[in-house]
Amino acid sequence: MQKTNKSAFSALKLFLLSLTLCHLRFGIAEEEGFCSASFVSKSCPNSQPLYWKVTNPTLSPSQLQDLPGFTRSVYRSDHALVTPESHVFSPLPDWTNTLGAYLISPAAGAHFVMYIAKMQENSKSGPPPPDVERFLFVVEGTVTLTDISGVSHKLMVDSYSYLPPNLEHSVKCQASSTLVVFERRYAYLENYITEQVVNSTDKQLILQTPDEVFELRKLLPASVAYDFNIHIMDFQPGEYLNVKEVHYNQHGLLMLEGQGIYRLGDSWYPVQAGDAIWMAPFVPQWYAALGKTRTRYLLYKDVNRNPL
Ligand code: UGY
Ligand code: MN
């Protein structure tokens, strides 16, 4: 009799334990945001209800990052999307204590490089190759830029600098910071030279964009000496490019904020902050902002030179 009581008690304990585990499991799932309340009340992890994958897809947002081998990155002959899970960092040549990930380079068909530089404690930049101009934009942290005359500038997030070719300078970082850097071989024009620029996005005027709704700021002077410019483009959710662009210029893009859909050639890509895009000349391109917050992206564009 005593034995029967004991085993009934053990069975009850087991039942209560499995109930608790069931609750715990779905409590966690709910926090992760992919388990609906009605679903919770009718199921237990050991016996999944019919069609449960419909509401818990393998590619649910929280699982996406951990799915083996999955990436949104794409590489085509006329465009590339490079998403953060694909970034590969290694020590940047000539820089100290800095890791770099080249996201766009001539190997992809571009005439420029775009890279992310992660500067660590007591780090310092190296010089660009001879005749190469450099543009850097601070995405995170603070750096100190010093030019050959000894003049120093503190660059914080949203600040940037353009360094003409062969201008000696150094970028130093005491703690840690992240930069996006563009470099290209300067296309010299007789009687023109570029000058160093140090500024920040919020100090730039919003420019007129006839027939378009996005807000545009240009970070460099529009004068003919400069062979590229960097645009900052803002879209409110629901806004999109009116022109379905096809043009001779190349682009390197970094999404700074927001999310939306980018059309590149015949493909349509969901994109979000942190994504980088390479657009070759003449690739059809179009963007629509979605989500609940504004999209802001930073865009390299070669300008002011005859394409012949
Ligand atoms: O200026 C541009 O070419 C820009 N509107 N392109 C783009 O956003 N893809
Ligand atoms: Mn364009």
Cβ of 285 less than 6 Å from ligand 1: yes
pLDDT at 37: 33
25-34, 135-144, 170-179, 248-257: segment of lowest average pLDDT: 25-34
pLDDT at 52: 73
- How many percent of the chain have pLDDT more than 70? 81
Cβ of 289 less than 6 Å from ligand 1: no
Q: Is residue 12 scored above 50 in pLDDT?
A: no
pLDDT at 161: 98
pLDDT at 22: 37
The per-residue pLDDT for range 13-26, each reduced to its tens digit, is: 544 444 343 343 43
162: Cβ–Cβ under 8 A, 6 or more apart, which residues? Answer: 133, 134, 135, 194, 196, 197, 219, 220, 226
The per-residue pLDDT for range 177-219, each reduced to its tens digit, is: 999 999 999 999 999 999 999 999 999 999 999 999 999 999 9
For a substitution probing ligand 1, which of 218, 231, 244, 255 has the most ligand atoms within 8 Å of its CB?
231
Amino acid at 220: L
pLDDT at 65: 66
Q: Is residue 158 scored above 70 in pLDDT?
A: yes
Q: Is residue 147 scored above 70 in pLDDT?
A: yes
Q: Mean per-residue pLDDT for 78-104?
A: 96
pLDDT at 57: 63
Cβ of 215 less than 6 Å from ligand 1: no
Q: Is residue 47 scored above 50 in pLDDT?
A: yes
pLDDT at 193: 98
This prediction's pTM: 0.82
Cβ of 229 less than 6 Å from ligand 1: no
For a substitution probing ligand 1, which of 229, 245, 277, 298 has the most ligand atoms within 8 Å of its CB?
245
- Which atom of ligand 1 lies at the shortest distance from residue 297's CA? 8
Cβ of 116 less than 6 Å from ligand 1: no
The per-residue pLDDT for range 214-235, each reduced to its tens digit, is: 999 999 999 999 999 999 999 9
- Nearest-angstrom CA–CA distance, 52 and 257: 34
The per-residue pLDDT for range 266-296, each reduced to its tens digit, is: 999 999 999 999 999 999 999 999 999 999 9
Among protein residues, the one whose CA lies closest to atom 9 of ligand 1: 285
- Classify burial at 77, counting beta carbons within 10 Å of its beta carbon; exposed 0-12, middle 13-18, buried 19 or more: exposed
For a substitution probing ligand 1, which of 301, 302, 304 has the most ligand atoms within 8 Å of its CB?
301
pLDDT at 61: 58
Cβ of 218 less than 6 Å from ligand 1: no
Q: What separation in Å is there between the alpha carbon of 164 and the centre of ligand 2?
A: 24
10: Cβ–Cβ under 8 A, 6 or more apart, which residues? Answer: none
- Which atom of ligand 1 lies at the shortest distance from residue 247's CA? 3
Q: Mean per-residue pLDDT for 233-248?
A: 98
254: confidence class by pLDDT, cuts 50, 70, 90: very high
175: Cβ–Cβ under 8 A, 6 or more apart, which residues? Answer: 121, 141, 142
Q: Which one has a higher pLDDT value, 156 or 21?
A: 156
Structure tokens at 60: 């649910």
67: confidence class by pLDDT, cuts 50, 70, 90: confident
Cβ of 30 less than 6 Å from ligand 1: no
307: confidence class by pLDDT, cuts 50, 70, 90: very high
Q: What separation in Å is there between the alpha carbon of 247 and the centre of ligand 2?
A: 7
